[in-house]
Amino acid sequence: MIKPIFLYGQGVLREQARDIDIKDKEAVAALIQDLKDTLAKADGCGLAAPQIGVSSRVLIVTGEGLEETYPYLKGFKRTMVNPEIIEESSSQCTYSEGCLSIPGVYADVTRPSSIKIRYYDEDLKMVEETLDKFACRMVQHEMDHLDGMVFVDRVAPIRKKLIAKKLQNIMRGKVSTAYKTK
């Protein structure tokens, strides 16, 4: 079911999400489907459960639509249940990021270049893999949502001052999107 996406300023985006009970397969499957339906409608590359108002550690990412810019993302789709980053590279890279919960705002964010992550996949099988490039970026961005952070928390203070008015407008509901928001 398509859910509204919670915007910057909503409390659920600042909560530390809880592990979801993987024994409740029906609830996990329903949440994953809600995330997929909502992301497809919003036309983004990732979505975490807190962004649809659910404080659970579940996220999805997809390279669909990004293959022209990042050919290595062809076929890249991940559903991650109770993910945890178990290793980060010391090398870092900077990309411009945006977010469905912070529409119209983009800023450079520096993150580790690669990560090793452990999670349950959509079939609730344990997976451990190393990600790099933009796939790594997408996962780290969504992992922040699970930890009560948003990408603007990671930007330089001067940049945050420059976008402060946009953030205030989002919190006041003065924003236009092509998807349902809350």
Q: Which residues are catalytic?
A: 142
Instruction: Give the DSSP letter string of 62-112.
Output: E-TT-TTT-GGGTT-EEEEEEEEEEEE-S-EEEEEEEETTEEEEEEEEEEE
Q: If DSSP codes are grouped into helix, strand and coil, which group holds residue 30?
A: helix
SS3 content of the chain, % helix, strand, coil (to 5): 35, 30, 35
Q: If DSSP codes are grouped into helix, strand and coil, which group holds residue 141?
A: helix
Q: What H or E segment, with its residue span, contains residue 46?
A: strand 46-48
Between strands 114-120 and 102-112, the pairing is: unpaired
Q: Which residue has the tokens 């699970």?
A: 146
